[in-house]
Structure 1
Amino acid sequence: MTSPNAAPAVPDKLDGTVLKIASVVVLGAIMSILDVTVVSVALPTFATEFDSTYATVAWTMTGYTLALATVIPLTGWAADRFGTKRLYMTALILFVLGSVLCSFAWDITTLIGFRVLQGLGGGMLMPLGMTIMTRAAGPDRVGRVMAVLGIPMLLGPIGGPILGGWLIEAASWHWIFLINLPIGIVALAAAFIILPSDRPSPSESFDFLGMLLLSPGLALFLFGVSSIPEVGTVASARVLVSGAIGLMLIIAFVFHALRKDHPLIDLRLFKNRQLSVAVITTSLFIVAFMGAGLLFPSYFIQVGGHTTLAAGLLMAPQGIGAMLTMPVAGRLVDKIGPGKIVLTGLPLILIGLGVFTQVAGDSPAWLLMGALFVMGLGMGCTMMPLMTAAIVTLSNEQVARGSSLMNIVQQTAGSIGTAVMSVVLTNQLLDRGLDNQTVAMQHVPEVAAQQPPGAVDSILNAAADAFGNTFMVATVLIALTLIPAFLLPRKKTVNPALEAEDVPQIMMH
């Protein structure tokens, strides 16, 4: 047990030192997460500027995601080898450099390439931030740490579409990338001054074979999955060949990792029952929640006829709801365990999503904003408690690997959710003789004026019905998430691996 002399070093609240470290980590995470949602509203602008199809410009987001998935497996080893502070500053430099290069892109190909470079930096920021924060706070305050790290996840969906829409309208698309330069310089200076220097522990040899199997495997698998909306079918050579090769490489990595002493990603962590349950619950939740989240702005713009800026503002209640519950959930999860919190959050998300399954062409904005607010309340009780459930039982040496594992799960599930919901919506629209462009054009006065009486309302109601059916798929997936969530612990978790460790030593590690 921890000695009485060590107890004061772990106050119940997050102290000033931890909060300073948190400010650095949150700055980097905000840039990384905000960048995804900022770019999402710029896709139509890219299509016009570079004379490209929507499917082509979508790779500015997909390329970024693939880079994230490729680099995350390396982060755990690199953190041990080079130290978290040095690696975090390197990731910031890569991200800011990629951002500046994106603003100078001269065609869509170079923009996608520079987005990949940006993603290589962005992919390391979140798992490194989790590792730095968890080590600084100690095991008894992981829930509150996760609540702090949840701030960027809230600001992304709220601020991203609003900021992106405003920058494009007030200046130009270049500024959605250039905005990262001043923020990145501040984050870099703060990281240099505030982050504690840690001693690298390069005792483990680098798993080159694991890297050659897992990183390309993840990239190819996600490339195949992400190609489904563009080619319109799973039965495409591009989808099947890349997906199958990627899956085979991932399976080969599993066999390799289970035999190797120090693999790139330690799959033996799955022997930890609580982590395994948290991973399964998180995977189902992210597929549904992220997939549905992609469609909310599309519904507001294409069916509701709102501008990108207005759509961003309509999404704000979701983030506000999460901001109310996430700090409370972070405190409670350290005291009563994650199970009760997650089982409170998931039904709230079900209620909110249930409203969207009934959308029509003229659904009132106040009703949908209310539904998003309720979903936000649930999200604040779900996302970070699940991360806490996975991380809290790990030893200090396992935290970096566990963080990398959970981030890979999130990125992969998010990509699958986005692809699944995009395919379902596309097929729902095609069944009604519609596509996204036809629906959006109904809000152009010149086009609407040429339609016979009632035709515009009929088209918008049919499109709303397609969206509603797609939201129903997400709702069913959230309901299924309740099954593994019932297996999460419903009392405070005691970590036997850390029980006998001296917490001040953990904080200095």
Structure 2
Amino acid sequence: MNRLAKQVAAILALGTLMVMLDVTVTVVAIPRLTESFDTNLSTMQWVTTAYALALVAVMPMAAWAIARFGAGRVYITALTLFVVGSTLAGLAWNVESLIAFRAVQGLGGGFLQPVGMTIALQLVDERHRGKMMGWLGLPLMIGPVLGPTLGGVLVDSVGWRSLFLINVPLGIVAIVLAVKLFPRTTGSERRPLDWAGLLLLAPGGALLVFGLSRAGDHGDPLTPQVLVPSGLGVGLLALFVLRTTRSARPLLDLRLLRRRSLAVGAASMLLVGGAYFGSMMILPIYVQAVRGDSATAAGLLMIGQALTTGVVVQIATRLVDRIDPRRVVWFGIGITVVAMSLMTSVLAVDTSYVAIAGIGILMGVGIGSTFMPIMTAALRGITGPDLASGTTILTTGNQFAAAIGAAASATLLTAYFNSRVPMLDDGGMAAALGLPTVERLLAAPGLAGAVADTYVLTLGMLVAGFGVSLFLPKSGAAPGPDTPQKSTQAMASDAAG
């Protein structure tokens, strides 16, 4: 990687870090925000939900926007919109304005990851893709872990407005550097936006994510509040897939999934990502509901995992440039399975935080060896205009994985809480988090058992992800700059291989 590529990678990493932090940074602030705006918890949850829905709604447009306007121009515009949304959210005067401005943040943030990944991978040949993915993967993996910790510190020491205003100076610096350093590119295609596809995919994805987010409220995924939006979302997404097969220029070219590497990589990421993001919401509940400690303490407990992930991802992504990526992926998933199994086995009312942190570090080794190597393997051989579609497919799938994993874990955990701790009166996680000290101590054994058993779900998703990853096509070290690359027309033969 040359100096320019490293500088651009650093800018992109900063942008991705801001977006990923904002996914979880508000979690610990919800009670404070509820009090400040004198509203109820269900309304305030929309501060998080609106951001997530906006991310999912616009992310599939990234490939079209890159082709139409150029990746650099799209990225700078999206980053500017994200900074504007952050500024307005920090100045919000009521809960309705805060929710609206969080959606503005999401509309900008949804473009940053797929567009940024396209910019980065276009700057390097395939010999250095793994190293570049290491830079991009650092904020992607540690952002959700650091979010609650940073949020707790900011809320306690500065106030809730700082959660959003902290993005402003960082974002301005990133914009100035991007304008100065990003390659000057223009759109390669003057094709119109596939409005029909957008009107199917954007609301379809948003409805599915919204429905899944409601599943954890009562521990029952079969309620109308879950089934109606989720069913509508699945229906719209199915129509989008059907349209894609018949459209000459679809919004998102799913025909790229004929490549076995991309199809298997996307499926593996959906399962492994679901397990990872699902497990991320379990431990904070254990720390707060079972042990009675703060969300900030839960975040601090996960710092070791975040740091380990950041270090290991740099090593793992460099290895995939030199050896068959499958070996790195299989090692990573295997280590993560061991860590998740240990968490299921040892978690109890009085489990040492040192032991939990140690398991988290082991999990960091596994996750750091899994995510970005899978993405690197999935995108191997994809170049030119297809690269934007490939990165958009993977990053959009990653958002769905996060929603599915979190919803599945929340639903099962709530169901376990309600069935094993009668004093919660079917109040689920909210009731568990609000128990007085004496009642919490009485309920702690049942709550701890419920948390440990919920990890079995994420463990199962990991095992399934490992099984799918076995079908990744064999490949050696990344090809050099003179090695011929496969074109889109070679997808059919690649799928057969």
- The answer to whether the superposition gives a TM-score over 0.5 is yes
Residue of structure 2 in register with 1:91 after alignment: 78
Shift of 1:158: 4.2
The answer (yes or no) to whether the contact 1:325–1:380 under 8 Å persists in 2 is yes
The answer (yes or no) to whether the contact 1:297–1:315 under 8 Å persists in 2 is no
* Residue 384 in structure 1 maps to residue 372 in structure 2: yes
Residue of structure 2 in register with 1:269 after alignment: 256
* Residue 233 in structure 1 maps to residue 226 in structure 2: no
Residue of structure 2 in register with 1:474 after alignment: 458
Shift of 1:393: 2.1
1:439/1:252 CA distance change after superposition, 3 Å: closer
* 1:371-415 per-position Cα deviation (integer Å, ceiling 9, x unaligned): 000000001100101111111221221111111111110111111
Match of 1:123 among 90, 110, 118: 110
Residue of structure 1 in register with 2:60 after alignment: 73
For residues 360 and 147 of structure 1, the distance between their equivalents in structure 2, rounded to whole angstroms, comes to 35
Shift of 1:495: 6.9
Could you tell me which amino acid in structure 2 is paired with residue 308 of structure 1? A
For residues 267 and 412 of structure 2, the distance between their equivalents in structure 1, rounded to whole angstroms, comes to 23
For residues 468 and 49 of structure 2, the distance between their equivalents in structure 1, rounded to whole angstroms, comes to 29
Residue of structure 2 in register with 1:440 after alignment: 433
Determine helix, strand or coil for the equivalent of 2:472.
coil
Could you tell me which amino acid in structure 1 is paired with residue 462 of structure 2? I
1:114/1:284 CA distance change after superposition, 3 Å: same
The answer (yes or no) to whether the contact 1:355–1:368 under 8 Å persists in 2 is no
TM-score between both structures, scaled by the size of structure 2:
0.92
For residues 13 and 282 of structure 2, the distance between their equivalents in structure 1, rounded to whole angstroms, comes to 26
For residues 498 and 415 of structure 1, the distance between their equivalents in structure 2, rounded to whole angstroms, comes to 41
Further displaced range: 296-305 or 178-187: 296-305
For residues 485 and 342 of structure 1, the distance between their equivalents in structure 2, rounded to whole angstroms, comes to 8
* Residue 406 in structure 1 maps to residue 394 in structure 2: yes
Determine helix, strand or coil for the equivalent of 1:488.
coil
1:208/1:495 CA distance change after superposition, 3 Å: farther
Further displaced range: 458-467 or 102-111: 102-111
For residues 209 and 144 of structure 2, the distance between their equivalents in structure 1, rounded to whole angstroms, comes to 22
For residues 132 and 172 of structure 2, the distance between their equivalents in structure 1, rounded to whole angstroms, comes to 24
* Residue 491 in structure 1 maps to residue 479 in structure 2: no
The answer (yes or no) to whether the contact 1:336–1:490 under 8 Å persists in 2 is no
* Residue 105 in structure 1 maps to residue 92 in structure 2: yes
1:261/1:140 CA distance change after superposition, 3 Å: farther
The answer (yes or no) to whether the contact 1:205–1:262 under 8 Å persists in 2 is no
Determine helix, strand or coil for the equivalent of 2:118.
helix
1:177/1:197 CA distance change after superposition, 3 Å: same
Shift of 1:225: 1.6
The answer (yes or no) to whether the contact 2:9–2:135 under 8 Å persists in 1 is yes
For residues 241 and 485 of structure 2, the distance between their equivalents in structure 1, rounded to whole angstroms, comes to 31
Match of 2:161 among 174, 178, 181: 174
Q: How does 1:114-193 map to 2 (within 5 A)?
A: 114-193=101-180
* Residue 395 in structure 1 maps to residue 388 in structure 2: no
Shift of 1:438: 4.4
* Residue 303 in structure 1 maps to residue 271 in structure 2: no
The answer (yes or no) to whether the contact 1:360–1:461 under 8 Å persists in 2 is yes
The answer (yes or no) to whether the contact 1:337–1:489 under 8 Å persists in 2 is no
Unaligned stretches of 5+ residues in structure 1? 1-13, 503-509
* Residue 428 in structure 1 maps to residue 416 in structure 2: yes
Shift of 1:130: 0.2
Could you tell me which amino acid in structure 2 is paired with residue 486 of structure 1? L
Percent identity over the alignment is: 35
1:206/1:390 CA distance change after superposition, 3 Å: same
Shift of 1:139: 2.1
1:44/1:456 CA distance change after superposition, 3 Å: closer
For residues 487 and 330 of structure 1, the distance between their equivalents in structure 2, rounded to whole angstroms, comes to 20
Determine helix, strand or coil for the equivalent of 1:499.
coil
1:422/1:355 CA distance change after superposition, 3 Å: same
TM-score between both structures, scaled by the size of structure 1:
0.90
Match of 1:417 among 405, 428, 432: 405
Q: Please provide the CA RMSD for this pair.
A: 2.0
* Deviation beyond 4 Å, 4+ runs, structure 1: 493-498
For residues 291 and 272 of structure 1, the distance between their equivalents in structure 2, rounded to whole angstroms, comes to 28
